[in-house]
Structure formats: C-alpha cells, structure tokens
Amino acid sequence: MNIPSHIFTIFGASGDLTRRKILPAFYHLFAGGMIGPDCIIVGAGRKKMTDEEFRELTLEALLEAGLDGGEGAAKWCTGCVFYQCLGEGSPEDYGRLGERLDELENAHNIPGNRIFYLALPPDAFPSVIGNIGEAGLSGSAGWSRLVIEKPFGRDLESAMKLNDHVHRWFDEDSIYRIDHYLGKETVQNLLVFRFANAMFESVWNRDRIDHIQITVAESLGVERRAGYYDAAGAVRDMIQNHIAQLLTLITMEVPAAFEAGSIMQEKIKILRSIMPIRPENIVLGQYDAGKIDGKEVPGFLEEDGISAGSATPTFAAVRLYIDTWRWKGTPIYIRTGKRMPAKTTQIVVVFERPPVCFFQTIEGCALRSNVLNITLQPDESFTLSFDVKKPGEPFTLEPHDFHFSYADAFGRLPDAYETLLLDIMTGDQTLFVHADEVEASWKLFEPAIDPDLPVARYAAGTWGPGKAAELLIRDGHSWSVRKGR
C-alpha cells in the first residue's frame, strides 16, 4: 500500500481515545508494515510534556492494549512520535505548533502533507478548528485533512453551524467525520453480504421481510465519560450516528459504484425517506441499580459526575418506517442501551412466514419465520435459522441454524481504527460521514431528543424498560438477540 509521507497531528494527545485506540492502531499499522517511518505523529495537547514523556505514555498505551512492542516499539517512538504543548491554545501556541510542523517536515523530508485529528470532547471542536485555520496550519505545500470524531453537533442546528465553520477552512473532500462503526470489518461486510451475493438481494424487500431489528447493547455504564454522556444521552451517543449507519447500510439501494460519493447518496436517500418519527414510536429509559454477571452495579444517578436528578436517557428504542417501494410498511425497530445484560451488536432480519401451512395435518404444527442474525460484535457471525424434519416418527419440524463465524474463518479482525487511519492517510472517504448525511440524520432523529419525552426506568442488567418490549408486541413481534458462544 502506498501511503504518502505526512505528519499526523493528534489534538487531545493525552486523552482516553488517543491512548486506548489511536496509538495502538498506529503501532499495529507500523509493526504490520502498512505504514513506514515517514508517517510522523505529533501529539498536541494542553499538558506540558516533552517528546520523551509522550513517548513513554505511548509505550504505556501499547502495553495496556496488550501490545508488547519491545525494542521495535521504542525505536518507532523515537523516530516517529513527537509532542507539542498547546498551553491555553492562544494564537502564539498554534503559531509554535506550525513552526514545529515545518521543522519536522524539513527534517524528515515530508512534502507538507498534514492530517489534523481532533480526538477531543465535542465542545472543543469549534475553537480548535478555528485555531488551526487562523494559524494557517492547513495551508501547507501538500494536502491537509481534518478528522473529526463524533458526535458532530448535538442537533440539526448545531451540526449545520459546525459544518459551516469547518467549511471556512477545509473543503468537504478533505474532511473525515469518523463514525468508528464504519471501520468495523463486519459493518463493511454488510455491503459485501448484500451486493456480492445475489441470493439475498432478491428477497431483500417488503414482500419477503416481515421486519428488521437492530440492537446495540452495552453492559458497561458511563465509565469515565460521565460529563460528556450526561449532556448527550443514548440517542445522540449511539442512534444518530452508529445505528443510523447500520440502518442505512442494511436498507439502502445498490449504489452506482463502490466509491464514497455513490454510497453516500444512497445512504442519504434512505435517511430522507424515513417517515417522521412519532412520539408513540420512541421509548427512552434510564438505568437504576441492578446486577450484571452477578455483580451489583450502581444506577445512573449514583454514578460519579452525573448531575443530580439528571433525566438523560441511557436507553432508547425507536420504531421506524421507510417510505420507499422496497420497504413500505415493513417496521424497523432499533434500540441501544447502557447496562444491558451483555455487550452485543446484532441485526436481525425476520422473513415472512410461508403463506400457507403445507403441514397442517401435523398436530400443533405452526410454521416459523426464517431469521437471519448478523452479529456484528462480539462473536462476529451470520446465522440463518430454518426448519428441518426431525428424523424418525412422528413427523416433526425443528428449527436449526446455518452458521458462519468470522473467528473460525479469519482469526483476528483488525480494529476499526486501523482501517480508518489507513483510509485517512490514503484519502479514501468511503467509510466517513458526509456533511449532508450528518444533517439528514439529525433531522430524522430530532423528535427522539425532545427533552419533554418521558424517560422510563429499567434495572441495570435488563433489556430496558417494559415499554420497549411493548413497541414490538403491538405488532405481534418480540425483540430477539442471539446468545454468543
């Protein structure tokens, strides 16, 4: 792979995301020979640190991620990892960062290619982007790219404002809005599954599919991100971005080509074709204390850093209808929550039952739907359930599975961040989110962030409030998750 030499500046260098995801992903790429010593990292942050101290922090991050880099990692750090303090973030501080980038480019013979990665809390985005722009850091001799983590805005209005702000200094072609779900192998595989296997595409419609469910459940609570999460909640944190992406990939039409623009167009068409979400199709919840894996866990309101009496939802479920020829009338149910019984991301496609029961002479014989379960994580797999005749007498039908497991077929899957970092370096925007897509998604999900919506209670360690089950029971359905191995 030909990666042009460049400097990759990480804003928020001592933060959690940099430590847990970005630095380990970089080292994986380096150790695997995907990037060379001419990819220079500059950590930038408020903290005063020397290059050497940042290298130590980098090595610690690798160890925490289970990567014992040994001498190789130390050598990589010395050659490729640097730090620049931004102090209070004054124009002078950014001026000094610019000088440092120039110096490093000269020393390493890099033709001015720059990537600016904002691994920062969202309220810091506007000022840092403004500072990068005002200091002229993006106006170097080569190309400049800006990488922004989610959430992009906190509603439609703020997302539009942020888009205008970013566009003052960066063209849409050089903006990489991250939704790390798009970097997951199993999420990318949704395109292959649907568009490389003719068998499924012909039944992928309202005539053959009864309904679709998407569950993104986590057993963790808010961990060390109480401040951010309390201001965001489940819809802003997971639905407007990650689930919206899964939803579009699983329902969109075949794009004209396998490239960013064509795929983005189809995703936007789906987001714009979903009927406005009515309040009766939204269920919000917040967890109380409970038990997960036999361990007592506190309620959301007892977590450190959560404001007293907070009404932030930690669970959300929504019923949607896509108003297109392909999907008219097929309900799509999505849900996400913290402190659920397990961590799992699954798409469940429930097919129509056979129109007539050929086996009506068998006592008690009811035909079931075929169900396709796509487990995106963990235990990455596909499972298609179908009925077989149980050998022997009496004549009985029994459900069984076709099963495909990623781990059995491929072993370790690369982390989403490895894929995304490489794509940023090569300039491939296929797995990133366009300005219009972000705005279409906010527009769609705005009814679900209405602060007047009721927030029901659920005990930690359960699948959310009872009302979320009712959302499906009304239609004669029930939530389904497949247990991992």
Nearest distance from C-beta of residue 251 to ligand BG6, angstroms: 20
Measured CA to CA, the distance from residue 96 to residue 266 in angstroms comes to 43
Which residues have C-beta within 8 Å of that of residue 406, sequence separation ≥ 6? 185, 186, 380, 381, 413
Nearest distance from C-beta of residue 244 to ligand BG6, angstroms: 12
Which residues have C-beta within 8 Å of that of residue 261, sequence separation ≥ 6? none
| 380 near ligand BG6, judged by CB under 6 A | no
Q: How many residues bind ligand BG6 (CB under 6 A)?
A: 3
The residue among 461, 374, 430 whose CA lies nearest residue 257 is 430
Question: Residue 39 or residue 438: which is nearer to ligand BG6 going by CB?
Answer: 438
Identify the H or E element spanning 30: helix 23-31
Do the Cβ atoms of 86 and 44 come closer than 8 Å? yes
Alpha-carbon distance values, 414 to 24, 36, 221, 450 (Å): 11, 18, 25, 37
Nearest distance from C-beta of residue 130 to ligand BG6, angstroms: 24
Measured CA to CA, the distance from residue 318 to residue 240 in angstroms comes to 12
Measured CA to CA, the distance from residue 400 to residue 189 in angstroms comes to 24
Nearest distance from C-beta of residue 271 to ligand BG6, angstroms: 19
Question: Residue 237 or residue 418: which is nearer to ligand BG6 going by CB?
Answer: 237
Question: What value, to the nearest 5°, has the Cα angle with vertex 456 and ends 453 and 460?
Answer: 140
Residue 54, sorted as left (phi over 0), alpha (psi -120 to 50) or beta, turns out to be alpha
Measured CA to CA, the distance from residue 189 to residue 182 in angstroms comes to 10
Whether 165 sits among the annotated catalytic residues: the reply is no
Catalytic choice (211, 242, 434, 477): 242
Nearest distance from C-beta of residue 26 to ligand BG6, angstroms: 18
Do the Cβ atoms of 15 and 45 come closer than 8 Å? yes
The single residue among 218, 230, 303, 380 that binds ligand BG6, judged by CB under 6 A, is 218
In DSSP terms, 292 is beta-bridged to 295
Nearest distance from C-beta of residue 436 to ligand BG6, angstroms: 21
Alpha-carbon distance values, 408 to 377, 379, 380 (Å): 14, 10, 10
Measured CA to CA, the distance from residue 77 to residue 373 in angstroms comes to 43
Q: What secondary structure letter does DSSP report for 124?
A: G
Nearest distance from C-beta of residue 180 to ligand BG6, angstroms: 6
Question: Residue 151 or residue 299: which is nearer to ligand BG6 going by CB?
Answer: 151
Closest residue to ligand BG6 in the complex (CB): 237
Question: Residue 73 or residue 120: which is nearer to ligand BG6 going by CB?
Answer: 120
Question: Residue 237 or residue 380: which is nearer to ligand BG6 going by CB?
Answer: 237
The single residue among 237, 380, 418, 439 that binds ligand BG6, judged by CB under 6 A, is 237
Question: Residue 73 or residue 449: which is nearer to ligand BG6 going by CB?
Answer: 449
Identify the H or E element spanning 115: strand 114-118
Measured CA to CA, the distance from residue 101 to residue 145 in angstroms comes to 14
Binding mask 103-142 for ligand BG6 (x = CB under 6 A): ----------------------------------------
Nearest distance from C-beta of residue 23 to ligand BG6, angstroms: 17
Question: Residue 105 or residue 237: which is nearer to ligand BG6 going by CB?
Answer: 237
Question: Residue 209 or residue 340: which is nearer to ligand BG6 going by CB?
Answer: 340
Residues 150-179 that bind ligand BG6 (CB under 6 A): 150
Burial of 360 (0-12, 13-18, 19+ CB in 10 A): exposed
Question: What value, to the nearest 5°, has the Cα angle with vertex 53 and ends 47 and 56?
Answer: 125
Nearest distance from C-beta of residue 97 to ligand BG6, angstroms: 27
Do the Cβ atoms of 213 and 319 come closer than 8 Å? no
Peptide bond into 151 cis (omega under 30): yes
In DSSP terms, 349 is beta-bridged to 212, 372
Question: Residue 242 or residue 477: which is nearer to ligand BG6 going by CB?
Answer: 242
Nearest distance from C-beta of residue 325 to ligand BG6, angstroms: 33
Question: Residue 236 or residue 434: which is nearer to ligand BG6 going by CB?
Answer: 236
Alpha-carbon distance values, 25 to 9, 37, 287, 336, 422 (Å): 15, 15, 33, 26, 10
Residues contributing to the site for ligand BG6 (CB under 6 A): 150, 218, 237
Task: Please identify every residue annotated as catalytic.
Answer: 242
